[in-house]
Chain A
Amino acid sequence: MKNLSRIASQNANALDSKTKEQTPVVENRGLLNKPKSDKIEDTNHISLQLRKMVKEALS
């Protein structure tokens, strides 16, 4: 049987490295490109957010 948690962990690591590699997008301040919601603070995947929370709590 496959170890689901290992796959999930590898997936989170891959997502983490992918988000680190991404260059910040230059904001277009045009009227048509207005952000739909201002409430979104962290766009990372929920598993990454939770892992970050646990890391911070343990440190």
Chain B
Amino acid sequence: MKNKNAPAPMLDAPIPGQGMTAPLGDRPWQRPAQFSTPEQALSFYISKITQDRQASQMMDILEMGVPVDTLVDTVQLGGVMEGLHSVDVGMIIAPALIEAISGMADKAGVKYTRESTDIDEEAPMGSEIALTLTKMREGKDMPKEAPVEEVVEEVTEEEPTGLMARRR
């Protein structure tokens, strides 16, 4: 008997156990981490994010509305995947990284969201802002301004009306 309420099977999902088919130690996170202590990992990240190019890229991302904690999560999980440090070390250094990036944004005068729960649902998303800016640049869908008519004020000179006034 067919269950109509059952969800449709996901045919593009990996086969169960596929993740364990690679030989042990083949993945970077299966090898010993490059930085074993939180101090080493933090100094690595701090030296990276304080570089001019990286810092400006990060500020751009924050200005687009990405919360600091989401950015830190992406950065530190990337480090785990590259085998730089363990997940535990990543969790330990995360608050310090959030503090560092927030401090940098404060000093740069960038408006940012600290936590992902602080997101204003009604505020336009970064992608929406970017799309609107692109449209503005291209001049599409924007109401064209009506040509401004020049108003020429006619200056009328009042004629003197007094008895002693001279007439032209």
Binding site for B on A (CB under 8 A): 3-9, 11-13, 46-48, 50-51, 53-55, 58
Residues of B near A46 (CB, < 8 A) are 38, 92
Greatest chain B CB density within 10 A among A5, A6, A7, A53 is at A5
A6 touches B95 (CB 8 A): no
Interface residues on B, range: 20 to 34
Contact residue among B69, B72, B76, B96 (Cβ-Cβ distance under 8 Å from A47): B96
Measured CB to CB, the residues of B under 8 A from A are 38-39, 42, 46, 69-70, 72-73, 76-77, 87, 90-100, 103-104, 107, 115-117
Contact B115 A6 (CB under 8 A): yes
Q: Inside 8 A of A47's CB, which chain B residues have their CB?
A: 38, 91-96
Q: Are A6 and B93 in contact (CB under 8 A)?
A: no
Besides the known contacts A53-B96, A54-B46, 9 further A-B residue pairs in the complex with CB atoms under 8 A apart: A4-B90, A4-B94, A5-B73, A8-B91, A8-B95, A50-B42, A50-B92, A50-B95, A51-B99
> Whole-angstrom distance between the alpha carbons of A12 and B91 in the complex?
10
Residues of A contacting B: mostly: helix
Question: Which of B70, B72, B90, B116 gathers most chain A CB within 10 Å?
Answer: B72
Q: A46-B38, A50-B39, A50-B42 are in contact. Are A5 and B94 (CB under 8 A)?
A: yes
- Whether A50 lies near B38 (C-beta < 8 A) is yes
User: Chain A contacts of B97 at CB under 8 A?
Assistant: 5
CA distance A54 to B107 in the complex (A): 14
